[in-house]
Chain A
Amino acid sequence: AQSVSQHNHHVILSEAASLELGCNYSYGGTVNLFWYVQYPGQHLQLLLKYFSGDPLVKGIKGFEAEFIKSKFSFNLRKPSVQWSDTAEYFCAVKNSGTYKYIFGTGTRLKVLA
C-alpha cells in the first residue's frame, strides 16, 4: 500500500537556521508530490507541488523541495527560517491521474525568535 513517511515529528530551530524536513514515500508508479503547511488556527495551505519537469521545485515563502526519484524522497528546505514559519508541515503524495492524496504524519516546526 502507498505510504508517506515524515521522519521528523518535532523540530525546533532558531531564526536564520536552515531547515530540511524529510519525506519519503512508497509507490512505484508516477506520483505527484506536495507539501502543505498549517499555521496555528488556519487551514492547510499548499506550499509547493511537483508534477513533472525540474525536480527542484520552488514554492511560496522561500521554501523549495527536491524530488529524488531514486530515493523516493521529496524533502522540504528553507535556507533561513523565520519565527513566522512556526507551523505544522505535511508531505502528501498522490498517484498521477487520481485524486487520492496520502498524507504523512506531519512535522511540527517551532522557530524561536
Chain B
Amino acid sequence: GAVVSQHPSWVICKSGTSVKIECRSLDFQATTMFWYRQFPKQSLMLMATSNEGSKATYEQGVEKDKFLINHASLTLSTLTVTSAHPEDSSFYICSARPGPDTGELFFGEGSRLTVL
C-alpha cells in the first residue's frame, strides 16, 4: 500500500514554544490530507482537512490559530502547534487520500507531542 510518513515521531517541547509536524506521502500524490488527534483511550478525532493549495477546513472546536495547517504541495502537509501548552500534549496522526478515490486513507505513524 501507499506510504505516509510523519516526522518527528515524538517531540518534547517547553510551554510557549511552537512545534511543527510534517506529513509526507512518499509514493503518491495526496490532494487531501487529514489531521487527527488521539487522546489516551479515545478515538481519533478529526481536527482538520487539508487540501493542496487552499486553506484547511477545521472541525468545530479546533482553534485554527493554535493549529496551523499548511498543504503547500501534493506530497507534504504540515501541522504547527503554536504557543504549545501542556493540554496540547497528545498523539497527532495524519492521513492522506490518493487522487482517484479508492475510499481508503493511508495513515502516518503518528507524532507524540509532550509539552512540559
Contacts and interface: CB of A to CB of B under 8 A. Distances in A.
Interface residues on B, range: 20 to 34
Interface string B74-110: 0000000000000000000101010001011111111
Interface string A72-113: 000000000000000000100010000111111110000000
A46 B104 contact: yes
A99 B34 contact: yes
A44 interface: yes
A26 interface: no
Contacts of B109: 42-43
Given A103-B44, A105-B43, A106-B43, A49 B103 contact: yes
Interface residues of A, number: 22
Interface string B1-38: 10010000000000000000000000000001010100
Interface string A3-40: 01000010000000000000000000000101010000
B103 A32 contact: yes
29 contacts: A9-B41, A32-B103, A34-B103, A34-B104, A36-B107, A43-B106, A43-B108, A43-B110, A44-B95, A44-B107, A45-B1, A46-B104, A46-B105, A49-B103, A51-B103, A90-B43, A94-B103, A99-B34, A99-B49, A99-B97, A99-B101, A100-B49, A101-B46, A101-B95, A103-B44, A105-B41, A105-B42, A105-B43, A106-B43
